[in-house]
Amino acid sequence: MIPAILLFAVTYVLMLAFSKYRPYIALASGLVFIVTKMLPAGQILAAIDFNVLMMIAGTMGLVSLFIESKMPSLLADLVMEKVPNVRWAAVCLSLFAGVISAFVDNVATVLMVAPVALEICKKLKTNPVPFIISIAVSSNLQGAATLVGDTTAIMLGSYADMSFLDFFWYQGKPSIFFAVELGAILSAVIIYFLFRKEKGAVSKENPRTQVTDYVPSVLLVGTIVLLIAASFIPNKPDITNGLICITLMVIGLAYNYSKKKTADAVLAPLKEIDFQTIGLLVGLFLMIGGITNMGVIDAAANLLAKLGGGNIFLLYTVIVWASVLISAFIDNIPYVATMLPVIQGLAATLGMDPSLLYFGLLSGATLGGNCTPIGASANITGIGILRKDGHEVKNSDFFRIGIPFTLAAIVPAYIYFWLLFA
């Protein structure tokens, strides 16, 4: 177990220190896990989340057609008509991304909203880095708001036998949705403060962009609708969302080819897929698979249980804040999967309803990824979009937004759950 922890820790330090080479560092570390058999050959495919990779590839290809149609530019014009300055544009885009992410996967949300943000920043001649980071962290926050917003929420709903409505009203009390929205309001205030110097007025005189083709927009909206619909299907294949995104992209490519009759109609959108981001995620999946196989996550879960002892408030506090810390560095999916049965056992031992601990786990694990640029797939995707657009994201750029955003979101949720469910 110790070699796995050391390799994992060194890898993260290197990725934070050498941000330009993160994909290569992660893939190299994943290869070491395989060669040393800390990740057995039989577990390699299981460790890689192909659903996420397919979603990223499919949506990126479709988004390239969406951008070519000039729809993001039109949406940017519409936003600019309604907001007085750059600061309010940042707040509105973050809230907009959050609303979508409550019903659609976080990665897909970032891929859909980021082009609009980039167009706004180009029109306003302002730095898009803080905009995209704000969109990514807002997407991560709202993923816990509903049963269909994030994989960890789906896992909790399945394990605790919670319905879609239970996320709004549970045991006769306002449920996790309202805790998340409370955090969203406070985090919006944080974004407003962080953009306090961006007071440049937004011009209202420019003519609206004319959209050249509405088909990519229809396909993108269709993707959202299908992702929401699929979330209600029980026992569906793990790669359902990925297949939806890939299928809609293929339809978009076929349509584009039928319109242009050139190979570039297909090749150009495929070239827009960010394979560096995909490589980084593959490396991270292999690393997490390795530490999971070596028992690191199980040991972390058991340690949390011991730290909490028999004191319910202390146990709740440890679960929330340790989940934030742990999820800042590892994928929250295997962590939550491991912790759910641990929490159920602890609650049974203490003779208490596990709801408080379940909600504490979900909120902490979902929001913890916002602490670091590589703590969540949505963050990695957002940074990848910025890199392709020619913008390098420093760790300080991310920490400046991610850390205060996380605290503003998790503190009210932490208090909210204790007051209502303790």
Look at residue 27 in the predicted model and tell me its pLDDT. Answer: 93
| Residues 115/66, Cβ–Cβ less than 8 Å | yes
pTM for the model stands at 0.72
> Taking the C-alpha atoms of 6, 371, 341 and 318 in order, what is their torsion angle to the nearest 10 degrees?
90
Look at residue 308 in the predicted model and tell me its pLDDT. Answer: 66
Look at residue 420 in the predicted model and tell me its pLDDT. Answer: 92
Number of independent structural domains in the chain: 1
Type of residue found at 405: F
Backbone φ, ψ for residue 201 (5° rounding)? -70, 150
CA separation for the pair 184, 179 (Å, rounded): 9
CA separation for the pair 407, 183 (Å, rounded): 9
Nearest alpha-carbon partner for 328 in 364, 290, 286: 364
List helix spans (H) across 275-376.
275-293, 296-308, 312-327, 332-350, 355-368
Look at residue 417 in the predicted model and tell me its pLDDT. Answer: 93
- Give, in degrees to the nearest 5, the angle at Cα 324 between 106 and 421: 95
CA separation for the pair 330, 164 (Å, rounded): 27
Residue span of the structural domain in which 13 resides: 2-421
- Tell me: the pLDDT tens digits for 21-57? 888 998 999 999 999 999 999 999 988 888 878 887 8
Low-confidence stretches of the chain (pLDDT < 70) are 104-105, 148, 151, 158, 202-206, 301, 304-305, 308-310, 331, 333-334, 337-338
> Looking at the DSSP assignment, which residues form a beta bridge with residue 170?
173
Look at residue 250 in the predicted model and tell me its pLDDT. Answer: 95
Place of tokens 């909206």: 221
Place of tokens 């939806």: 244
* Local structure of 14: helix, strand or coil: helix
Sequential DSSP letters for 284-295: HHHHHHHHHHTT
| Residues 307/82, Cβ–Cβ less than 8 Å | no
**Structure tokens given for 18:** 């050498």
CA separation for the pair 187, 138 (Å, rounded): 8
- Tell me: the pLDDT tens digits for 267-298? 988 987 878 878 888 888 898 889 888 988 77
Q: Which helix H or strand E contains 174, and what residues bound it?
A: strand 173-174
CA separation for the pair 104, 133 (Å, rounded): 18
